[in-house]
Amino acid sequence: MTPDKARAEANLGDHIRQLLAGGKMATLVTVLDSSALDAGAKLLIHAGGQTFGDLGDPRLNDAAVKGAAGFLSGRDDTKALKVSGITAELESLADTWLLFERIETEPRLVIAGAGHVGASLARLAALVGYDVSLIDDRSEFVVRELFSSPAEQAIRLLTARSWSDAMREAIGNGRGVSVAIVTRGHKQDEDCLRATIAAQPEYIGMIGSKRRTNIVLDKLREEGFDPERLTRVRAPIGLDIGAVSPEEVALAILAEIIAERRGGPGTPLSRWRRDHAK
């Protein structure tokens, strides 16, 4: 590797780290195979269209920006595409293959309440790759001995002296953050929801019956909270899978969080077969 190329890759790495630190999303495009360009050339494309790097041809850079917009709107984390599949205007590069990779922060989940459901949700979310913060005002519920397996070591355990302060600190700027409020009572739900709505994470869900969740939402509505933000709260939280046990309820909650993040409808994959048979 030449010094210039090594320097360019180091600068690209720094740029990606800064992007992730800011909670932003981008697409990294790499030349996989080409008779006209250097394999390994890279272009980082921000979600807003700004670029860093070079694929070796300005026209290809422009085509990659257009292709990245469609890629980020889909569900794939990586995708190999032929230039001819992106644009018909670059005949000389039609056989060039590009690799599109989604660059984004690790999805974060903040769980308020470390009872049976909250603990099960934390374990399951950590297993599928979420950065998990588990909060409770009862210190004995958030001790490392209860979450000691290798998969659970990364779960961040926090004791809340103040639910509002703990939630705001854990949620941060809200980018890429989902919040599940699964506490033991109305008062705790209200305190958590007030702080969570103010922090504006990407997903908010609250456990409880329709009656219990409506009581909390009505209380905040009376306090002057924005009605539009309140309508975005998923309450009761989770998909209806007939869950009974805490582990099943946790699965239903995580399924909804993933569907929201990935843009999935939450319908059975076999539905197409039934529709086709009609």
Query: For residues 163 and 259, what is the distance between their CA atoms, to the nearest angstrom?
Result: 27
Strand partners, 135: 112, 158
**CA nearest to 64, candidates 21, 76, 79:** 79
In the chain, where the domains are located = 3-103, 108-262
Cis amide prior to 227 (ω within 30 degrees): no
**How much is the pLDDT for 3?**
59
Q: To which residue do tokens 């569907």 refer?
A: 259
Q: Which CATH superfamily is domain 108-262 in?
A: NAD(P)-binding Rossmann-like Domain (3.40.50.720)
Using an 8 Å Cβ cutoff, are 196 and 179 in contact? yes
Helix (H, G, I), strand (E, B) or coil at 21: helix
One pLDDT digit (tens) per residue for the chain, 278 residues: 565 566 667 788 888 888 887 777 899 999 999 988 989 999 999 988 889 999 999 999 999 998 998 888 777 889 999 998 888 889 889 889 999 999 988 889 999 999 999 999 999 999 999 999 999 999 999 999 999 999 899 999 999 999 999 999 999 988 889 999 999 988 899 999 999 999 999 999 999 999 989 999 999 999 999 999 999 999 999 999 999 999 999 999 999 999 998 888 888 888 766 665 55
Count Cβ atoms below 10 Å from residue 175 Cβ, excluding itself.
Answer: 16
Q: Rounded to an integer, what distance in angstroms lies between the CA atom of residue 124 and that of residue 157? A: 15
The size of the chain, in residues, is: 278
Measured N-to-C along each axis, helices 116-127 and 246-262 cross at an angle, to the nearest 10 degrees, of 50
Residue 166 sits at φ, ψ, to 5 deg, of -65, -40
Alpha carbons 155 and 251: distance in angstroms, whole number: 17
CA 28, 29, 35: angle at the middle one, nearest 5?
160
Whose structure tokens read 């009505």?
218
What pLDDT sits at residue 111? 98
pLDDT tens column, 102-157 = 998 888 999 999 999 999 999 999 999 999 999 999 999 999 999 999 989 999 99
Sign of the CA dihedral 175, 251, 116, 132?
Answer: negative
